[in-house]
Structure 1
Amino acid sequence: MASNLDTLVTVFGGSGFLGRNVVRALCKRDYRVRVAVRRPELAGFLQPSGKVGQVHTVQANLRYPASVEAALRDSQIVINLVGILAESGAQTFDAVQARGAETVAKAAAAAGSRMVHVSAIGADEQSASLYARAKAAGEKAVLAAVPSATIFRPSVVFGPEDQFTNRFAALARMSPVLPLIGGETKMQPVYVGDVANAIADAVDGKAKAGATYELGGPEVLTMREIIETILAITNRKPLLAPLPFGLARFQANFLQFAPGAFKLTPDQVTLLEKHNVVSDAAKAAGLTLEGLGIAPDSLEGITPQYLWRFRPAGQFQRKDA
């Protein structure tokens, strides 16, 4: 019987938060992994994810089709994880998440490779958000080039290196007041390890070809409930100050240039106006984590494993202290 070591999987965006978890999941299943990134010299940390020689990094930029074609040469399966949360220079939503996804899909079609593409819940051509419109355009372009592609739409993804739970924990450590934007907006936080396993299952051939899966955790929580959970785990007690969307968008015009955890763009505020949960249609069709046989982990079950570092006295502090 053929071994997975005979299968080469090219992962675009494999050095990112989701990417490194996908690479790890594929290595555990003995696939050979080629990681295509803009800066391969900064992706050396991925080598220990697999056995010697199992992971190989190459240079590729979705804005340059020739580099994409070279990166996926001889690959049986291609995974596109490339996405951005905020635009910067030439890295626009349209360039990366729409035209970039199309470039990968066309190259995969030309090479005869199977394709897995990661989008996001909320992808919508009619959305007021540039991010969501670009994600929808990317999905459409991928399916036009590779009709058998499997698409995954996760809700907000959390895990040790995320820019979500860590961001709020960092802000709570620095400020006595925490602005609450979209406090009643519902989300379905999904653990990065579960998303990575779903993608690896698709590589295994367990997911439906041409289908769009929506990935969410076991609970639907409001933004307020998510932040309160983070504060309880980190033993921080800042004042939560609800901020109307209009005022938040005005502030974001200035905060989009702020560094680190303080950065907030108008487009991110727009995204917070819509619920971000798995649809009833996806549940009915079995196009979910549960449909793949994955029991998702909860926010409260996973985050204490890494958010302890934000507690006033670190990992040894009692929760009730």
Structure 2
Amino acid sequence: MTKDQIGAERSVTVFGGSGFVGRHVVRALARDDWRVRVACRRPDLAYYLQPLGAPGQIAAVQANLRNPESIVAALRGADAVVNLVGILAETGTQKFSSLHVQGARIVAQAAKALGITNFVQISAIGADPQSSSVYGRTKAEGEVAVLENIPSAVIIRPSVIFGPEDDFFNRFATLARYFPIIPIVGGETKFQPVYVEDVADAVALALGGGAKPGEIYELGGPEQKTFIELVEYVLEVTERDRRLVSLSFGFGKAVASIMQLLTTLSQGLFPKLLRMTTDQVELLRHDNVVSESAKAEGRTFAGLGIQPEAIETIVPSYLFRYRKTGQYQGQRS
């Protein structure tokens, strides 16, 4: 692809494109010949994305959700928008309400003002205005804020996302490396892990017109597993013999309160690996799987014509390094 050819292609601005999911979305969009503008607070930390496309196809620009003018500047001249901005836990000034709700609203309002109607908002299964979790409530409020401004927007709700850089399987593999006992809160809660590349393909498909405008798609992998089954799978793949201890939600919430206090008192120096919040415990009270209504109405991978990958085909390829002898496991005598 030449520079002239790239210039003639459609342009998309991706907010939050430098994160775990973002890098895969950017690659999928570049593959589909989009000219990609990655909007983030620190463009210098997003330069690593440029080799994912042809020369000049991917560019990083400065944008901050607290500065609406920077959002408008990042969107000017774009044909489409993807909003990936989100957090799993609040830290400092990074609050659920400011990022999930206000941030989504600011981006949608800017897109509306510029006449951009091709919009994809990444939310999460568990988004519910009545959720006992602040994360779940603000995700739902963010969806409403986007659809109020861009009725044709496509909302994508994935279950827990896995991939080489994930913070789920990697986290428990790391815990198993260092600790003989792993506590589990909500061990019977069900998840439907979804491969990050499949989510990225869904985003690209939606921007290309392959999804119904104004719909909410729920994306989950081919199988459901309980939380404790997923951790047991990590132990099996990494060949670690560890004891799993189930904690009640009440006790788990008490432990999470202590973890939050230690994180605050240490000014963020408390190990991220050990952090847990009371809001995350609340989120674990409910299954994180694709709803029956989404299946019946075709608002799933099947409705998009995508066959999702199973964890067994992907996860072992990046968890092998947590075994005692890593990639040399097969050479042990």
What TM bracket, shorter-length normalisation? Answer: over 0.9
Q: Which residue of 1 aligns with 2:173?
A: 169
Q: Which residue of 2 aligns with 1:139?
A: 143
Q: Does 1:307 align with 2:311?
A: no
Deviation at 1:316?
2.3
Q: Secondary structure at the match of 2:69?
A: helix
**TM-score after normalising by structure 2:** 0.93
Deviation at 1:6?
1.8
Matches within 5 A, 1:172-183: 172-183=176-187
- Aligned-partner Cα distance in 2 for 1:166–1:310: 9
Q: Does 1:104 align with 2:116?
A: no
The answer to whether the 8 A contact 1:235-1:319 is kept is: no
Q: Which residue of 1 aligns with 2:95?
A: 92
Matches within 5 A, 1:117-266: 117-256=121-260, 257=263, 258-266=270-278
Amino acid at match of 1:16: G
- Aligned-partner Cα distance in 2 for 1:291–1:237: 40
- Aligned-partner Cα distance in 1 for 2:86–2:49: 19
Cα RMSD of the aligned pairs, angstroms, is 1.4
Deviation at 1:318?
4.0
- Aligned-partner Cα distance in 1 for 2:332–2:259: 34
- Cα 1:235/1:70, change in 2 over 3 Å: same
Q: Secondary structure at the match of 2:71?
A: helix
The answer to whether the 8 A contact 1:63-1:96 is kept is: no
Q: Secondary structure at the match of 1:275?
A: coil
Q: Does 1:316 align with 2:328?
A: yes
Q: Which residue of 1 aligns with 2:310?
A: 298
Q: Which residue of 1 aligns with 2:38?
A: 35
Instruction: Give ranges in structure 1 of 5+ residues lacking alignment.
Output: none
**TM-score after normalising by structure 1:** 0.97
Q: Does 1:78 align with 2:90?
A: no
Deviation at 1:124?
0.8
Q: Which residue of 1 aligns with 2:266?
A: none
Q: Secondary structure at the match of 1:10?
A: strand
- Aligned-partner Cα distance in 1 for 2:182–2:128: 30
Candidates 5, 9, 15, aligned match of 1:6: 9
Q: Which residue of 2 aligns with 1:21?
A: 24
- Aligned-partner Cα distance in 1 for 2:25–2:249: 35
- Aligned-partner Cα distance in 2 for 1:262–1:255: 8
Candidates 263, 284, 287, aligned match of 1:275: 287
- Aligned-partner Cα distance in 2 for 1:121–1:296: 16
Deviations 1:186-210 (A, max 9, x none): 0100000000000000111101100
- Cα 1:111/1:278, change in 2 over 3 Å: same
- Aligned-partner Cα distance in 1 for 2:331–2:27: 32
Deviations 1:94-121 (A, max 9, x none): 0000010000111111111111000000
- Aligned-partner Cα distance in 2 for 1:231–1:60: 41
- Aligned-partner Cα distance in 2 for 1:145–1:319: 58
- Aligned-partner Cα distance in 2 for 1:95–1:76: 26
The answer to whether the 8 A contact 1:233-1:319 is kept is: no
Identical columns (%) = 55
Amino acid at match of 1:237: D
Amino acid at match of 1:94: S
Instruction: Give ranges in structure 2 of 5+ residues lacking alignment.
Output: 264-269
- Aligned-partner Cα distance in 1 for 2:176–2:274: 11
Deviations 1:163-222 (A, max 9, x none): 111000000101000101111000100000000000000111101100000000000100
Q: Secondary structure at the match of 1:6?
A: coil
Deviation at 1:320?
11
The answer to whether the 8 A contact 1:120-1:153 is kept is: yes
Amino acid at match of 1:37: C
- Aligned-partner Cα distance in 2 for 1:124–1:264: 21
The answer to whether the 8 A contact 2:9-2:33 is kept is: no
Deviation at 1:91?
1.0
